[in-house]
Amino acid sequence: MLTHPVFNKRLMARSSVLVTCALAALFLVQCSDGGGSAIFVMEPLPYSLDALAPTISADTMGFHYDKHYAGYVKKANELTKGKGFAGKTAEALIQATAGDASKAAVFNNAAQAWNHAYFFKCLKPDGGSAPEGLLAEMIDAAFGGFVEFKALFITAAKDQFGSGWVWLVLDEGKLAVVTSANADTPLAHGMIPLFTVDVWEHAYYLDYQNRRVDFVKSVLDNLANWDFVAAQLEKAQPPKV
Ligand SMILES: [Fe+2]
């Protein structure tokens, strides 16, 4: 059956209004928390999935970002929806649920969503050059130099038993290298995260199999975004007047 062109235009206009309304309704459903918005959103990658190769392949990034990270964000929002967390920041929610066994699932997914978003921001293509300015001075003071810091960070990654994270943190005004198991995060322990590398096997196994040290060393040498880290340090420790 042929349709008159004018009718077709009206039909299209009406369809377009219906589609717009349907999308708006879907948006409201997704954002609604019985009065609040979803706490976690997928932060866009600041580079393409293949931009970190060969240190991290596009395959690994695809699984890591689109499957693992997306899964934590989705689950964290499902577990917090309508549970009295509306209005809380992600950081406040993580701190409020840390150590509470009855909220372990919320904490694990929320912390993993936050940890992954932060990890992806710690990387950039053609990174790895030595830090400068205040960050470099504080690394020298805390570890004796950048080379010594990297050696300590790699050893910490090697010694982390099972899944977890290695971090450079600001702890009571001083830099420190710490590790956290599974989803745990320095945010839950009064420390300020500055830099991290994910040492869960899903972060490196496709590219490095069991060679975790090679993965961490290559991230430090080729991808570490010290400009981002320096900016976080400046925010955490404003210059003295
Ligand atoms: Fe991960």
| pLDDT at 226 > cutoff 90 | yes
Backbone angles phi, psi at 219, to 5 degrees: -60, -45
pTM reported for the whole predicted model: 0.84
Expressed in angstroms and rounded, the spacing between residue 87 Cα and the centre of ligand 1 is 26
Q: What is the mean pLDDT of residues 41-55?
A: 97
**Backbone angles phi and psi of 28, in degrees to 5:** -65, -40
**Ligand 1 center from residue 64 Cα (angstroms):** 6
Confidence of residue 111 (pLDDT cuts 50, 70, 90): very high
- Summarize the chain as % helix, strand, coil (round to 5): 55, 10, 35
Q: What residue type is assigned to position 139 of the chain?
A: I
Pair 51, 88: CB distance under 8 Å: no
For residue 111, the CA-to-ligand 1 centroid distance in Å is 11
State the pLDDT at residue 15.
41
Interval between CA 72 and ligand 1 midpoint (Å): 10
- Single-letter amino acid, residue 107: F
144 vs 192: CA distance, rounded Å:
21
Which of 6-10, 62-66, 106-110, 224-228 is predicted with the least confidence, judged by mean pLDDT?
Answer: 6-10
Residue 239: what pLDDT? Answer: 61
Domains contained in the chain, CATH given: 58-121 (1.10.287.990), 133-236 (3.55.40.20)
What are the pLDDT digits (tens) for 144-199?
999 999 999 999 999 999 999 999 999 999 999 999 999 999 999 999 999 999 99
Separation of CA 158 and ligand 1 centre (Å) = 16
